[in-house]
Amino acid sequence: MYAGGSARDAVTVIRALRLPLGMAILLAERVRADFATDRGPEGTLGAAEGAQVGALQGASVPALEGGPALEGAPVEALEGTPVGAPLGAPVGGPVGASEGGPVAAPVLGVAAAYAIGLADTTLSTSGRIARSAVAAAQRPARVGTGVLQTVLEQPGVARATAPARRATSAMADWSAATVARGRAVAAEARMDAVTYLRLESASGLAWVRGEVMPTMIGDLVADPKVRQLAMEGAHGAINDVALEVRRRSARADTSLEAGVRRLLGRDRRELAP
Q: Any contact of residue 249 with other proteins (CB under 8 A)?
A: yes
CB of 237 to other proteins, least distance (A): 13
With respect to other proteins, which residue has the nearer C-beta, 156 or 273? 273
Q: Any contact of residue 261 with other proteins (CB under 8 A)?
A: yes
Sign of CA dihedral 259, 264, 266, 268: negative
Say how many C-beta atoms besides its own lie within 10 A of residue 55's C-beta: 27
CB of 235 to other proteins, least distance (A): 13
Q: Any contact of residue 264 with other proteins (CB under 8 A)?
A: yes
**Nearest CA among 114, 105, 95 for reference residue 32:** 105
With respect to other proteins, which residue has the nearer C-beta, 145 or 254? 254
Position among 165, 183, 227, 246 found at the interface with other proteins (CB under 8 A): 246
Q: Any contact of residue 273 with other proteins (CB under 8 A)?
A: yes
With respect to other proteins, which residue has the nearer C-beta, 159 or 262? 262
**DSSP 3-state assignment of 250?**
helix
**118 CB contacts (<8 Å, ≥6 apart)?**
none
With respect to other proteins, which residue has the nearer C-beta, 225 or 262? 262
- Stretch near other proteins under the rule CB under 8 A, chosen from 74-82, 86-94, 216-224, 258-266: 258-266
CB of 243 to other proteins, least distance (A): 8
Q: Any contact of residue 234 with other proteins (CB under 8 A)?
A: no
**71 CB contacts (<8 Å, ≥6 apart)?**
62
CB of 217 to other proteins, least distance (A): 27
Burial of 114 (C-beta count, 10 Å sphere; 0-12/13-18/19+): middle
Position among 143, 254, 262, 267 found at the interface with other proteins (CB under 8 A): 254
- Stretch near other proteins under the rule CB under 8 A, chosen from 49-57, 84-92, 98-106, 249-257: 249-257
- Stretch near other proteins under the rule CB under 8 A, chosen from 44-52, 89-97, 117-125, 247-255: 247-255
**Nearest CA among 49, 47, 55 for reference residue 85:** 47
176: which DSSP letter? H
Instruction: Return d(Cα 168, Cα 124) in angstroms, integer.
Output: 39
Return the biggest CA–CA distance within the chain. Answer: 135
**97 CB contacts (<8 Å, ≥6 apart)?**
80, 81, 82, 83
Backbone angles phi, psi at 94, to 5 degrees: -90, 0
Q: Any contact of residue 269 with other proteins (CB under 8 A)?
A: no
Q: Any contact of residue 252 with other proteins (CB under 8 A)?
A: yes
Position among 211, 232, 240, 257 found at the interface with other proteins (CB under 8 A): 257
Instruction: Return d(Cα 18, Cα 154) in angstroms, integer.
Output: 50
Interface residue list for other proteins (CB under 8 A): 242, 245-246, 249-250, 252-254, 256-257, 260-261, 264, 266, 271-273
